Amino acid sequence: MGLRMGFRAWSGLKNEYGQKIGRFEVRSELGRGAQSVVYLGFDPQLQREIAIKTVRFTQPDATKNKILLDEARTVSKLRNPNIVPIFEAGEEGGDIYLVFEYVPGKNLAEFLSSSCPLSPVKAATLLRPILDAVAYAHAQGIIHRDLKPSNILLDENAAPRVMDFGIASRIGSAGGEIEEYSGTPAYMAPEYVAKRDVSERSDIFAAGLILFEMLTGHRAIVGDNIFQIMHRISNEDVQLPANLAVDERLSRILYKAVARDPLLRYQSAMQFGEAIDNYLDPEEEQKRDGDG
């Protein structure tokens, strides 16, 4: 569940399906968090199913709505096969809604709850297109800021597709944050917890935590409350269980991704992805080394 201070409790449309958000018909509820509800909807104009995410602040705030809509416009320009696109964004009754492509199937969190732990090769293979999506977004100046298994959908071919760039931030953009914290505590980077620093390396840290979760079947960072989780993120190194059968090469890749010091991490998602490629195809890595 994402941590976004300042939202009020909201029941959404309850069970009154058939209502509309904008021009879109609401058919059923797909999921909800503390700050949002996601519905299965239908676009009568284009005759297709879509997903609608509604967001509501504790108090109506035109400035915050404008920030979110500006971010949505930026994210809607992303065109990558591993990213779930935003089709439209708007306001309804003072609340923001985002319209996404509807991807039927499970998200990665649901898949892992029934399939974990994964083999090292399976985990690395599944992570690779996620890193492609993140690297592409970073190249467009966008940081995800809430990368986690529940924000990664698996399509009908079991290919991962990253979604929910709704709290993404323009790299190097001016202006304050919408809330004191944005994101999910268990996937926040140490530098964000300590200093609110956000960069591409924040997403790299989260991607490393996702790899840990695929390999072990549980989150890397747990605690009884948000503050305990944040303390552990800031003060404890991520460690794989001693009895886990993960080879040294993949362990090194994982530990580099989740280094508490961001300068010791991979400096780009592309670099992280290349390390995964070399792990999956060591003969190709040796060939390149020989050519060098």
Helices 200-216 and 248-257 pack at an angle, to 10 degrees, of: 140
Q: What pLDDT score does 204 carry?
A: 98
Beta strand segments in the chain, E: 3-4, 20-21, 24-32, 36-43, 48-55, 86-92, 95-101, 142-143, 152-154, 160-162, 169-170, 182-183
Using N-to-C axis directions, what is the helix angle for 282-291 and 269-280, rounded to 10°? 110
For the chain, which domains are there?
Answer: 3-101 (3.30.200.20), 108-285 (1.10.510.10)
Residue-wise burial string across 144-163, b where 16 or more C-beta atoms lie within 10 A, e elsewhere: bbbbbbbbbbbbeeeebbbb
CA distance 189 to 3: 14
**Which tens digits make up the pLDDT trace of 1-16?**
443 333 333 344 444 5
Which tokens in the block code for residue 13?
């449309």
Neighbours of 113 (CB within 10 A): 11
Query: Which pLDDT value is given to residue 104?
Result: 93
Confidence at 288, pLDDT banded by 50, 70, 90: low
Is it the case that residue 32 has pLDDT exceeding 50?
yes
Catalytic residue among 43, 132, 146, 203: 146
Which of helix, strand or coil describes residue 288?
Answer: helix
pLDDT digit string, tens, across residues 120-158: 999 999 999 999 999 999 999 999 999 999 999 999 999
The string of pLDDT tens digits covering residues 17-31 is 569 999 999 999 998
How far does Cα 17 stand from its chain's mean position? 28
Cα Dmax for the chain: 65
Reported as a single tens digit per residue, the pLDDT across 34-84 is: 678 899 999 999 999 999 999 877 677 788 888 888 888 888 999 999 999
Looking at every residue in the chain, the average pLDDT score rounds to 86
Q: What is the pLDDT of residues 160-203, one digit of tens each?
A: 999 987 555 544 443 444 445 677 899 999 999 999 999 999 99
The answer to whether 175 touches 64, Cβ cutoff 8 Å, is no
d(CA 171, CA 168): 9
Cis peptide before 149 (omega within 30 of 0): no
> What burial class does residue 23 get, using C-beta atoms within 10 Å of its C-beta: 0-12 exposed, 13-18 middle, 19+ buried?
middle
70 is catalytic: no
Per-residue pLDDT at 74: 87
C-alpha–C-alpha distance, residues 102 and 99, integer Å: 9
